[in-house]
Amino acid sequence: MRRALKFVRPERRARADALPRPNAGAALLEEAQRPLHHALLRIASTASRIERSWRRLLRGLEPGRDEYDALLGLDPGACYRLLATSHDAYRAAVETRARALMRAGVAEGHAIAAVALYLEACLASLRGPAELRAMVRLTSATQRFVAAGYGEERATGMRRLEDRERQKLASDLHDEVGADLIVLKMYVEMIAMELTKGGVAAVGPKLAEALVLISHAIESVRRLTLDLGPAFLEALGFLPALRSFVRQFSVRTGIKVRLEEPASPPRLPVSHETALYRVLRGALSNVAKHSKATSVTVTLSSQDEVLTMSVEDDGQGFDARGLDAGRGFGLGAMRERIRELHGRFALESHVARRRGERSGTRLEVRLPMGKAAA
């Protein structure tokens, strides 16, 4: 019996051939990952040479010794080897090392550049455009994870700052306003008792003491309101708030403060205004507590999309090199706040060793304002 022949139209055959076969997706994924796998094998086999080349390229960034040592800790090669374990392990390693770099004071741009330089050091080990494309994609992903690590550390740093400021405010409220109100309550109770006994003559001195306590509590509340910053800045505006704070500081401490302002008021985001206000507050607080200064000059200037604020006193100065900035004078919090905004913080101080020598301390903050002002 003759078998009937079944004809399939060419277009139908083409469509049938185009249908994915079972596990075709896994095969395609494996095929896409194969160039990266081969590239990482070549990198691992020439790791020593790549490491030497990378170290040489890093020096082109002209980092300081501490920054250079910190950048070496990024070690992209070690992170890439974790891809054999899991993608999550690789990502966690990159972000953890990026956070350590930020804590060490390494600029985010230098960390991202270090990843790109590692790719440059790997080029001689790669074979073909497919491996190069795979490593370029991996480098781009690594740079994104570095940026994410810096972002997480910035957020953590801001939370630490806010927690410290809340603790300080709570302590000040308890120690100053709370103590005054407790004593004031006692005086009022004593006055009430004297009045019930008919001792009107004894009431006068106690009322005078009560008025002093009330005045002191009011002054403390005003000072704490100034210390809070943001609400005060929003109500008055940046420069008027600085003028008010400087004026009240001078009245309270007797230290003369001159505020030199730019010709045209700068346009700043709230984050920049708050940071500058709090750095100024911390700087003047240090002047009052430690410097024995008689005058301070606060200078604001803007040039090339950068706002500069300096605070310079004529006090006794100190050894800035021997000071632990993370603990002394609250300088660590100031540095951290400015670093969060990609700014620069500098401090220099001079101690007069003999008559006629210069003494005093100068703090300078530089903040970029281009993006925010646009």
In a domain? residue 207? no
Range(s) of the domain holding residue 118 = 24-158
Residue 61 within any structural domain of the chain: yes
In a domain, 107, yes or no: yes
pLDDT for res 5: 43
φ and ψ at residue 5, rounded to 5 degrees: -85, 135
Number of neighbouring beta carbons within 10 Å of residue 72: 13
Arithmetic mean of pLDDT, 160-171: 65
Q: Are residues 337 and 249 in the same domain?
A: yes
| Type of residue numbered 43 | I
Q: What is the pLDDT of residue 225?
A: 59
| Better-scored residue on pLDDT, 97 or 327 | 97
pLDDT at position 222, please? 63
pLDDT at site 139: 93
101 Rama sector, left if φ>0, alpha if ψ -120 to 50, beta otherwise: alpha
Query: What proportion of the chain, given as a percentage, has pLDDT over 70?
Result: 75
254 and 143 inside one domain: no
Distances (CA, A) of 360 to 313, 349, 354: 5, 6, 14
Q: What is the pLDDT of residue 123?
A: 94
Q: Express each pLDDT in 184-205 by its tens digit.
A: 777 777 777 777 776 667 677 7
> Sorting pLDDT into bands at 50, 70 and 90, what band is 13?
very low
CATH of the domain at 279: 3.30.565.10
Confidence of residue 268 (pLDDT cuts 50, 70, 90): confident
Mean pLDDT, rounded, for 99-126: 91
Residue 77: other Cβ atoms inside 10 A: 17
pLDDT category, 175, cuts 50, 70, 90?
low
Report the number of distinct structural domains present in the chain: 2
Q: What is the pLDDT of residue 313?
A: 95
Nearest to 43 by CA among 69, 74, 78, 68: 78
Among 143, 158, 173, give the residue marking a domain's end. Answer: 158
Helix, strand, or coil (residue 319): coil
Q: What is the pTM of this model?
A: 0.49
Q: What is the CATH number of the domain that holds 117?
A: 1.10.490
Mean pLDDT of the 156-169 span: 66
- Of 122, 68, 76, nearest to 95 by C-alpha is 76
Token pair for 276:
């500058």
Is pLDDT at 309 greater than 90 in this prediction? yes
- Of 138, 158, 178, at which residue does a domain stop? 158
- The pLDDT of residue 79 is 93
Q: Is residue 165 part of a domain?
A: no
**What's the whole-number mean pLDDT along residues 98-124?**
91
SS3 content of the chain, % helix, strand, coil (to 5): 70, 10, 20
- pLDDT for the residue numbered 370: 59
Q: Is residue 257 domain-shared with residue 370, that is, in the same domain?
A: yes
- Bridge partners of residue 365, in order along the sequence: 309, 345
Interval 169-184 mean pLDDT: 69
Instruction: Please identify, among 97, 132, 158, the residue that sits at the C-terminal boundary of a domain.
Output: 158
Min mean pLDDT across 165-179, 189-203, 274-288 is at 165-179
Chain segment 215-261, per-residue pLDDT in tens: 777 776 666 655 555 555 666 788 888 888 898 889 888 999 999 99
| Residue 31: pLDDT over 50 | yes
SS3 254: coil
Q: How many residues does the chain have?
A: 374
Residue 92 falls within a domain, yes or no?
yes
No. of helices (H) and no. of strands (E), the chain: 15, 5
